[in-house]
Amino acid sequence: MVLDGSADSDHRLKAMLHWDVNNGIARRAWARNPNAQWSIREAMKREPRLVVTLANDTSNDLLERTLHGTW
C-alpha cells in the first residue's frame, strides 16, 4: 500500500484499517471473548458488507461428555 498523501491513499488507508481491525475482533469473537462478540456484532450493524460467521456457544458439560463418549 502506498500512502502518498493523496485523497485516494487516505481512502485506501481507512478501508484497510477497517477490515484489518475487524478481522482481529472476529478472531477474538471466535475464541468466545464476550467483548469481541459484542464488538463484531456492532461492527456488522454499522457496515452491511461486513459479514462474520459467529461462533455458537455450547456448555462445558456437553463438551466433556462428547470428549469422553458419554452422551
Q: In a 3-state reduction of DSSP, which class is residue 4?
A: coil
For the chain, first and last CA: distance in Å?
52
pLDDT of residue 11: 85
pLDDT of residue 9: 87
In a domain, 1, yes or no: no
How many independent structural domains does the chain possess? Answer: 1
Mean pLDDT, rounded, for 45-57? 91
Parent domain of 18? 7-68
Cα–Cα distance for residue pair 59/65, rounded to 1 Å: 10
Whether residue 33 is predicted with pLDDT greater than 70 in this model: the reply is yes
Whether residue 6 is predicted with pLDDT greater than 80 in this model: the reply is yes
Q: Is the pTM of this model over 0.85?
A: no
pLDDT of residue 10: 85
Q: How many residues does the chain have?
A: 71
Burial class (CB in 10 A: 0-12, 13-18, 19+), 34: exposed
Cα–Cα distance for residue pair 68/62, rounded to 1 Å: 10
